Amino acid sequence: MSQPSSDLAAFREIFSKAKHVAILTGAGVSAESGVPTFRGAGGYWRKWQAQQLATPEAFSRNPSRVWEFYHYRREVMGTKEPNPAHLAIAECQERLGRTSTSSTDGGSKDVLEIHGSLFKTLCLSCGHESANHKSPICAALEGKGAPDPNTDEAQIPVDDLPRCEEAGCRGLLRPAVVWFGETLDSNLLERVEEELDSCDLCLVVGTSSIVYPAAMFAPQVAARGVPVAEFNMENTPATMRFKFHFHGPCGTTLPQALARHQSEAQKVEGEVEREVEREVEGEVEGEVVVGGRKVEGEVEGEVEKEVDGEVEGEVDGEVEGEVDGEVEGEVEGEVEGELEGEVEGDLK
């Protein structure tokens, strides 16, 4: 098995021809924004690692502790900003309109959140799932969740923990994330597989490639002969299966890799030029057409008015003549009759 390449020019050549880019992102991307991952050495919240808290069993035993952990993470996320890696992915997606990503933050669109979201909740009673960006998520958690190992546990009564707001429910809420030991949503998995089956370039960004089944996605794509590029601070168990590996902070390596390439720039310039030409032609044609229509309209209007006037005049004249004639005849007849009658009477 050959070593993956770090030839950026070779990657850019493939990227310039790709029709559908799939991007798989992990906690390492957000780590560069200062978001703790609770993985590896020193990855503790108080005295627990994430694997000891992010399980159904841990939540069942101590929902207050688990909610403190997730409340802390939600509050931290609210203070962070997307880093250059996030922005590069979002800008690439906006620019090309042919990318899909599993990223859970950073402004990307059409995200398939494989492992759920910190800002969604799931009701254990009615099953309702919804977005939730409240800060704090409930009054009892305000000021709680400090990661210092000497912090006393809040031991919040279960009735005061986040509750479902659906009518007549009030069930206990849990974070809508996939915990260790849980299966991924089958419908979501199907959509992810569809995206990966149709992609002709795959990027793996800031992920350890050790959490299954997500860890097998990129190797399966590579097995189909599709180029896969890994961007990470270190090698992973899957690195040797990929065509490219770019070592270093994703915020440094990814923007260079996803920058607008020359053929794309030429295409954009061509589209701009054509758009300008269409606008100019439209304006010229619009003036001629509008001018012609305006003149024709005025001429037609004047002709119509003249014809209408003539017709009205002829009709008016005929009517007036006929009426005047009839009236005059009647009057004359009556006068003549009366005079004749009077004369005749006088004579008689």
Please give the annotated binding residues for NAD(+), written as ranges.
Answer: 26-45, 206-208, 232-234, 250
The CA-atom distances, in angstroms, between 62 and each of 54, 118, 124, 149 are: 11, 19, 15, 17
Residue 143 identity: G
Q: Percent helix, strand and coil across the chain, each rounded to 5?
A: 50, 15, 35
- For residue 136, is the peptide bond before it cis, meaning its omega torsion is within 30 degrees of 0? yes
Residues 6+ apart with CB under 8 A from 264: 16, 95, 96
Binding residues for Zn(2+): 123, 126, 164, 169
CB 212 within 8 A of CB 206: no
- In whole angstroms, what is the distance from residue 108 CA to residue 342 CA? 111
Place of tokens 């419908």: 187
Residues 6+ apart with CB under 8 A from 34: 80
From the list 20, 71, 115, 245, the catalytic residue is 115
* Number of residues that this document lists for the chain: 348
CB 256 within 8 A of CB 231: no
Tell me, yes or no, if 128 is annotated catalytic.
no
Place of tokens 């590579």: 222
3-class state of residue 111 by DSSP: strand
Binding residues: 26-45, 70, 73, 123, 126, 164, 169, 206-208, 232-234, 250
Partner residues linked to 120 by β-bridges: 131
Tell me the catalytic residues: 115
